[in-house]
Structure formats: structure tokens, C-alpha cells
Amino acid sequence: MKRKLLVVLLAVTIVLMSSGCMRKLNSTVTGTDVKTQSKGQVEVTQRYFETYLNYSDKPDIDMSFQFKNTGSVPVRVYSVDMIAYDANKTSLGEKSGYTFAPEILQPGEIGYAGSSGFGSYEIKLSSLDQVASVDANIKFDVVNKDVPSTNLDISGLQIVPEPSTYGPGKARVDVTATNPSSKDAEYFHVIVGLFNAQDQLIGTAYCQDNPLIAANGEKQFCNA
């Protein structure tokens, strides 16, 4: 299957992430700047989940989301909570604190969040087919329009098959991140959105690293 990559990352925080069932639901969260009364809006535009048996041979779930600033003002995302539902729309649990990027979203910009590779201890499943849909609650503040970007620059993005290391059909994602800032980036995440030939989100790849990227420096990342 042909896959396309799209990366979003933070500069003092970066973001690489992996793979289900996609539900096209519209989930919109709004917020208001208490000082200016300017309204911000962030919408979940695509969602994807995959259930699997974890290392304890118990049902688990990975979730991935694409979200977009559909408002007219910049926002700072500070938390993404992920929720799973059964066929009756009953919540099966909620997981907060998953990695996302970028932190700052200008109007029209998109970001990604995912739990891929980590599963969720907060969402208790009794079977692999118990989940019917997933959603995300995105928490954010409205920020000044002149707020600086925290994004790193990306190059050399590619999918490298690794069946001998990770198993049949598995691959790693390679990417080079460059810090365009005049300040060092000391802590960062990289999140890569994975898409099929129909531009449907089919997962995320994730990498987190602590070594410093000096001002105008670069670093290579890879993730399965």
C-alpha cells in the first residue's frame, strides 16, 4: 500500500509516531481569550485506531489524530485526551497526556497526536472488536498573533522496510530535524503522520529525544 508522510514538530519540544479503523466524525473544541474575547477553534479532522494483543496477551489500543486550527487566531495546544467508545457510544476509558505537535497552531495549520507503540492502560478492553470509534479532546489557549513558532525544519523523510528487525510488513521512519532558531533546542519530540494513497490517516510514528540540538544544528531520527 502506498503511504505518504507528513511531519509536524516542535522546536524546544520536536515530534516521530505508527497505525485500524478510521471514523470521520467532527469533533470541535472552542476557547476564548479572556483578555481580548477572541475566539479560537481546534477541530479533529481525521482519526484512526488499531486494537491488538499487547505483551501480556491482553486487548489494547493505539490511536492517532489529525487536528486543525479552524479559528481565526493562533492557539497554544497544551493537552490532548484520547477517548474510545463502543458501538453504543459508551466510553471505554480516556487517556490524557499523549504526545502531540506542534504546540503553536496558526489559523489553518494542522497537528498530530498519537498513542502508537504505547497502548493505553486507562482504556480497559475485553475484546479486540469492542472499540467502535475514538475521539480526542484538545485543550488550548488563545495566544498573541506574533507568538514565535516552535517548529523545527524537516528533511530526508522516508519509510525504510525493516521486516527482519520489527516483523513482516514493518518499517522504520527516518527523518532529519534542523533547528532554525538562534537558541538551542534542549528537549524535543517528532511526530510523523502516516497516510495511504487516499490521504487517509493510517497512524503516526513517534520519537522522543533529550540530547540538545544546537542553534542552526541538525539531528537524525528514526522510529519503527
Among 142, 167, 186, where does a domain finish?
142
Question: Minimal CA–CA distance to 156: which of 183, 141, 175?
Answer: 175
Same domain, 68 and 136: yes
Same domain, 132 and 178: no
**Range picked from 54-58, 96-100, 150-154, 165-169 for highest mean pLDDT:** 54-58
The Cα–Cα gap between 102 and 215 comes to: 19
Contact between residue 132 and residue 85 where contact means Cβ atoms under 8 Å apart = yes
Residues of the chain with pLDDT > 70, as a percent, come to 71
The Cα–Cα gap between 144 and 148 comes to: 9
Same domain, 28 and 97: yes
pLDDT of 25 over the 60 cut: no
Same domain, 157 and 137: no
Q: What is the full DSSP assignment across 194-218? A: EEETTS-EEEEEEEEE-S-B-TT-E
The Cα–Cα gap between 169 and 102 comes to: 29
Among 142, 169, 193, where does a domain finish?
142
Number of folded domains that form the chain: 2
On whether residue 86 sits in a domain, the answer given is yes
In sign, the C-alpha dihedral spanning 153, 99, 130, 18 is positive
Does 131 or 25 have the greater pLDDT score? 131
Domain with 30 in it: what CATH number?
A: 2.60.40
On whether residue 4 sits in a domain, the answer given is no
Q: Any residues with CB less than 8 A from the CB of 12 and at least 6 apart, and which?
A: 150, 183, 185, 186, 187, 188
pLDDT single digits (tens) 68-121: 999 989 999 999 999 999 999 999 998 876 788 888 899 999 999 987 655 667
Show the domain range for 214: 153-223
pLDDT of 24 over the 80 cut: no
Same domain, 137 and 38: yes
Same domain, 211 and 102: no
The Cα–Cα gap between 193 and 206 comes to: 9
Same domain, 28 and 61: yes
For residue 16, give the C-alpha cell. 516521530
Among 142, 162, 189, where does a domain finish?
142
The Cα–Cα gap between 137 and 23 comes to: 15
pLDDT single digits (tens) 29-38: 444 444 444 5
The residue whose grid cell reads 504505547 is 118
**Range picked from 15-29, 103-117, 167-181 for highest mean pLDDT:** 103-117
The Cα–Cα gap between 69 and 38 comes to: 14
Same domain, 27 and 130: yes
Same domain, 56 and 123: yes
On whether residue 186 sits in a domain, the answer given is yes
Predicted confidence at residue 167, as pLDDT, reads 62
On whether residue 2 sits in a domain, the answer given is no
Same domain, 57 and 138: yes
Does 186 or 79 have the greater pLDDT score? 79
